[in-house]
Chain A
């Protein structure tokens, strides 16, 4: 028999090793799953993890890496702030959708005006929308003690319904032959978020993600605010003793993570997606939770984890096309990754001993 023995401290080696172990375990178990479904496991894994970068169609898929990683990293860097403090924003997907709607609203209201301020105003509106959607669970928690986990999660579904309403109603493209969905912002230049360097996949969202990573790194390691966030997560009473007002921290963390998610949505709607549709939310907000944890809530880790998760998105699509793997594969993969990560996480805090 084995037993678990708590470690005095979490060794850095294990903190770095567990995400890698989790990725390996996901590949192995995922491969087994593919084999059970009758696919060649090695080919499937190769298609998902290798081909998007170096395969025959890499020229198309490589830029997609930054397109997908940008919003994931942007959202995850905000979520990590709250997660460090023990404030669980599970509803980034909703803040992402609302941010996109608010940003798009500015553009659609300005259409067809050509002015330099339109895109900056959209950015502000996107951030404000996400912030406001994040403040709902924050205020409900501060005023009534409601769980921000449940409230933020449920607000995702509200946001999805609002997106559908917008796509069919107020934001429907008047020149869209009665199809649902807004005007395509890619075709409205003052509001569009184009690729900055041809074939790189980098748009303003990617730039914002890098800025967000740098800012959160600075706050977490150099600023007293980051110290308070970490203290609140590690020992809430010590944080109170240090002078932290828990309500303020809740509002700050949910507000900032909401604003960043809203920004991600805005850059998406003005760029790759182009328009508000019924199914605008594509799961970035949820996947970003995995990115945040896979990256150990650390900016550098989030950068790597964001790229990896983006790879599974692209590789999953590729595997769908090339091998006819079911569409749910990506989600199974991502779910497995989080599952294994949390499982292996045990090893950072405990060591396994043989029971004598």
Chain B
């Protein structure tokens, strides 16, 4: 087999961090090669070097046998390397073809481009109408746009950064069929993920990184998920402790909650009953109303009277601060800019939600010492790795900031805590700690709603499971005995996406 891409002794040092240390590996033509590692293991630095966003300090790379040292992404693209980012860079108000043309060096005339898009998308089983607006596309379809944008360059090496994090299981299957077809045509695919099962069932080889160093390149099918996780983390994974939970009396009652659509997804007649000591998992693909549901529960969006009641008290018309005082706390998905202010210090960020419950703000006056003290308490209790409470929130890694955000709410002793994507983009160690904290909180008698797109997480945490699809919440089902396939169907299946027509 020929190596399409080869890295030899790549190293990169940032001030204070050895991000990559002596990394050597190769990606062969026609293989789906996984790059596996925790957040902070050096995956993104490595990929940025390959894509020309960062220049390596040591080592060299080769592409198709020739020395390869791109100084910017444009050079990387010209050499045959394409990348699909985790976060889409698409303009909602523009059409598929317009978005793709924007990313091209020399876009052909519009009709010609539309024809090529249609042709390519049919060829790879990625049906997509070039004239549709991005705003009307599902996450899976948006990803198709990004993939098509790459395919138009006929890449020899295609890098995919956590592509399934926004997809239902069914949509992910379609994606893998497409990738398999691409690989079959000789494209090398470097697939970044930390979802072990996915890698085990779909990838040919896996290169594992830990703390910037190469652990090795292995055949993922020859190892169990536990073994892979152990290689990734460097130790046995800590199993979460689900014991000690006894769902008791209802604490939160949501009845016929609807919101107008506007820019986001409209919530339609949502109803649920949450008991104390219970974790209710709400699954769904991004953009199906998760953020709107969190806003309606946190009080950022007010709903009709009688729709949200905490322990019998109607809070539908109460704002976020009043709800927090009553014991209904929330942690939104977006850490930077929603759950925390990146420019503010951790101490100041405690004031966002803990002002009243921790006595940090009394009669309108801010007690800075108390805020610093509480920030320190969160840092200690949740093992947040940071120089101290005066550090800006934006300077923390995703996992550490998430631990801080969750910790801030958990230490607020909520009666009900609503979290959205509690472990999104968080390394395995931090994710386990966060999940354990949520389970402990439930064991102490709080009611929890965990909204997540990570089905494994929901199966691990929740007692009952509902699916949020197109702004509607399904009836809850006990998590025991639910299979991923059943959940996938509850989430709306493949959202009408067609399966790739894989040629035999």
Contacts and interface: CB of A to CB of B under 8 A. Distances in A.
A234 interface: yes
B455 interface: no
Nearest to B353: A242
Interface string A209-228: 00000000000001111010
Interface string A339-356: 000000000000000001
Contact of B319 (A9, A238, A245): A245
A196 interface: no
Interface of A: 8-9, 222-225, 227, 230-231, 234-235, 237-238, 240-243, 245, 356
Interface string B153-196: 00000000000000000000000000000000000000000000
A241 B364 contact: no
A227 B366 contact: yes
Nearest to B319: A243
A191 B336 CA distance: 53
Nearest to A225: B364
Given A222-B365, A223-B366, A224-B365, A238 B340 contact: yes
Contacts of B330: 241
A245 B300 CA distance: 9
Given A224-B361, A224-B364, A234 B341 contact: yes
Nearest to A223: B364
Identify whether the interface residues of A are mostly helix, strand, loop, or mixed: helix
Contacts of A356: 55, 71
B344 A234 contact: yes
B104 to A, nearest CB: 22
B357 to A, nearest CB: 12
A230 B348 CA distance: 11
Nearest to A232: B341
A241 B332 contact: yes
A223 B364 CA distance: 6
A129 to B, nearest CB: 28
Q: Among A9, A224, A225, find the residue whose CB has the most chain B CB atoms closer than 10 A.
A: A224
A139 to B, nearest CB: 21
B364 A235 contact: no
A167 to B, nearest CB: 43
A356 B364 CA distance: 52
A242 B322 CA distance: 10
Contacts of A234: 341-344
Given A8-B395, A241-B320, A241-B332, A224 B351 contact: yes
Contacts of B361: 224
A237 B470 CA distance: 23
Given A223-B365, A227-B366, 10 more contacts: A9-B392, A224-B355, A230-B344, A234-B342, A235-B338, A237-B332, A237-B338, A240-B300, A241-B339, A243-B299
A241 B348 contact: no
Nearest to B322: A243
Contacts of A241: 298, 300, 320, 330, 332, 338-339, 352-353
A242 B344 contact: no
B338 A238 contact: yes
Contacts of B338: 235, 237-238, 241
Given A223-B364, A225-B364, A238-B338, A9 B353 contact: no
B394 interface: yes
Contacts of B55: 356
Contact of A235 (B320, B341, B355): B341
A242 B352 contact: yes
A235 B336 CA distance: 8
What band does the interface of chain B fall in when counting residues whose beta carbon is under 8 Å from A?
20 to 34
B342 A235 contact: yes
A329 B338 CA distance: 46
Contact of A238 (B71, B299, B352, B392): B352
Contact of A8 (B300, B339, B394): B394
A350 to B, nearest CB: 15
23 contacts: A8-B394, A9-B392, A9-B395, A222-B366, A223-B364, A223-B366, A224-B355, A227-B348, A230-B344, A234-B341, A234-B343, A235-B341, A237-B334, A238-B338, A240-B320, A241-B300, A241-B332, A241-B353, A242-B321, A243-B322, A243-B324, A245-B319, A356-B55
Ranked nearest first, the 9 interchain pairs of A and B with the lowest CB-CB distance are A243-B321, A243-B320, A235-B337, A237-B338, A235-B341, A242-B352, A238-B341, A224-B361, A234-B343
Nearest to A238: B341
Interface in B119-160: none
A241 to B, nearest CB: 6
Contacts of B352: 231, 238, 241-242
A221 B66 CA distance: 59
Interface string B55-87: 100000000000000010000000000000000
Interface in B454-469: none
B319 A237 contact: no
A238 B350 CA distance: 12
A232 to B, nearest CB: 10
B337 A238 contact: yes
A356 B353 CA distance: 45
Contacts of A235: 336-338, 341-343
Contacts of B321: 242-243
Contacts of B343: 9, 234-235
Contacts of A227: 348, 351, 366
Contacts of A240: 300, 320
Contacts of B366: 222-224, 227
Contacts of A223: 364-366
Contact of A237 (B337, B351, B365): B337
Contacts of B332: 237, 241
Contacts of B392: 8-9
Contacts of A8: 392, 394-395
Contacts of B339: 238, 241
Contacts of A231: 341, 344, 352
A85 to B, nearest CB: 13
A170 to B, nearest CB: 42
A260 B330 CA distance: 38
Interface string B402-429: 0000000000000000000000000000
A32 B178 CA distance: 64
A237 B341 CA distance: 9
Contacts of B364: 223-225
Nearest to A9: B392
A57 B351 CA distance: 53
A242 B337 contact: no
Contact of A242 (B320, B336, B365, B394): B320
A317 B212 CA distance: 65
B190 to A, nearest CB: 25
A137 B169 CA distance: 50
Contacts of B300: 240-241
Contacts of A238: 337-341, 352
Nearest to B336: A235
A254 B74 CA distance: 47
Interface in B300-357: 300, 319-322, 324, 330, 332, 334, 336-344, 348, 351-353, 355
Contacts of B394: 8-9
A241 B352 CA distance: 8
Contacts of A222: 365-366
